[in-house]
A and B are shown apart, each in its own frame.
Chain A
Amino acid sequence: MTCLPAPGAKKLGLVIDLDTCVGCQACATNCKEWNTSGHSAPLPDFKPYAAGQEGVWFNRVHSFEAGEGEAGRTVHFPRSCLHCETPDCVTVCPTGASYKRAEDGIVLVNHDTCIGCGLCAWACPYGAREMDDDQGVMKKCTLCIDRIYNENIPEAQRQPACVLTCPTKARHFGDLGDPDSAVSRLVAERGGQPLMPELGYNPVNRYLPPRKKALPPNAPVEDAPTPMDIRNPLLRWMDRVLSR
């Protein structure tokens, strides 16, 4: 059914910290690694060992420059499905293959009924859907539905692959519908932002803004070197002799 379900209380999603993301591509790589044998497996690669290689990825890490001069920043920016609350990627689907789960808000594709028309990818403003040209069906981030509810893995690992692998802990997973959850508190504390809110898709994922650069009030003044700044004893002796 591609009509949207009534809004549920639970809204699972990601919170991505643009302050600490270092653009290492670990989340994109581990996403590919997990998902190529997970719910939406496989994630094909074409011409993997030749020029012009390309493939399906659920997570793409961009880098941007924002602002000018001293105030300017380089910001690394992971982009994946935002599991929007009112996404047209679901309602435009002619077959019912694209759907949003009522119980937790995860947006998924049924690969057994998708006809590969591509309309849902056109309807996603964020570029979160990529066609698997091998199977002829649409694929997208599953919020690692096969990890977060997976009772065969230790409880601590029931988190999306991208979240677990991030070396700077820039990715957080949780229920953004619960105002007391850790992710909701993080969003409240740090002023987490939605992307392209003007399109009205009501994304669930939030991006934490880079913190303000801590500029010292006055530029540091360098002290004149003292004899003790010279570490080498021989040079220190020469300095003393020559300074007489």
Chain B
Amino acid sequence: MNPAPSIVFFTTASGAGYGLLFWLGLLRPLGLVPGSQGFGLTALGLALVLITAGLLSSTAHLGNPQRAWRAVSQWRSSWLSREGVAALGTYVPAVLFGLGLLADLPGLTAAMGLLAAAGAVATVYCTGMIYASLKPIKEWRHPLVVPGYLLLGAFSGAALLAMLGGFWGDGAVPAVLALLAGIAALVVKNAYWGAIDQAPPVATAESATSLGFIGKVRPLEPPHTETNYLLREMGFRIARKHAEKLRLLALAAGFGAPAALCAFALLVGGGMGAAALTLGAVLALGGLLVERWLMFAEATHTVTLYYHGS
């Protein structure tokens, strides 16, 4: 599948934004992050900027962005529609959370923080389900896709919250969470990549053409000599050796290194710790971009059976 930059950026940025919103909404009422108004507003602001930038970037991918409002109408059947509803719905508690912080109303802040956290989980779950519900793409149908989206959102959000915590002198709890989530991300993505390499195809050139009764089916002549929408959008292929290198890069630099930096920051603390947490957050986001790009580049669609035979 074509790794369109607008969607790669969207899922990375808004995933991190929802992760940040989730942890902030959950940890602040529990008193596990700095309780100052400045910290709360900065973290919430960053989360909303990331979420909004991601959502706007996703509309750049539409053929008719001015009609985007229609996308919230089909929540009964469509995960994309549900994602839209959840994303818009989450703004309500998130904004009230901000008002609570501004007006210093602990009760409202706690309630809205928890609601916003729930909205963040729901939105990222819907994002994952958009992909996981597409039957023609075996790499996306996999049961680890949705947990992967949730986990990576939690990981990048915790890394960002730890960074901000470091600036305010206390990023210990989010740093521990980022450390754990980073290790979990390493394990889950590694298992996912191993599994999709082994997964049997969802269909074959034989079943796609109904000609299997004659024997092995191979494409002889394509219907057109130039490319088309189908080949550009669904025929994108990445060389195996590049994919392997990029997987390693995402695992080591994107998940492993930030986890190690979090551990380092927990040990040294102070200014050095804050610097390590900042570097960790940047690496986590970079690693996520690579992981998301691969998520598309490695996905194969059954329409290529007609064009490539595989």
Contact = CB atoms under 8 A, between A and B. Distances in A.
Interface in A44-62: 51-57, 60-62
Interface in A195-218: 195-201, 207, 209-210
A130 interface: yes
A9 interface: no
Given A62-B306, A117-B71, A125 B135 contact: yes
Contact of A115 (B70, B207, B217): B70
B71 A94 contact: yes
Interface residues of chain A: helix, strand, loop or mixed (majority) = loop
Chain B interface size range: 35 or more
Given A115-B65, A115-B67, A119-B130, A64 B223 contact: no
B186 interface: no
A7 interface: no
Contact of A60 (B68, B73, B136, B224): B224
A72 B217 CA distance: 10
Interface string A55-91: 1110011111111100111110101000000001011
Contact of A3 (B71, B77, B202, B224): B77
Contacts of A61: 223
A195 B137 contact: no
Interface stretch (B16-24, B189-197, B225-233, B274-282): B225-233
Nearest to A1: B74
A157 interface: no
Interface residues of A, number: 74
A136 interface: yes
Contacts of A73: 211, 214
Question: Which of A67, A74, A119, A125 is most buried by chain B, counting CB atoms within 10 A of its CB?
Answer: A125
A131 B230 CA distance: 9
Interface in B43-88: 61-65, 67-68, 70-74, 76-81, 84
Interface of A: 1-4, 18, 23, 25, 28, 51-57, 60-68, 71-75, 77, 79, 88, 90-97, 113-119, 121-127, 130-133, 135-138, 193-201, 207, 209-210
8 contacts: A23-B221, A64-B218, A65-B217, A71-B215, A96-B74, A118-B61, A121-B233, A198-B207
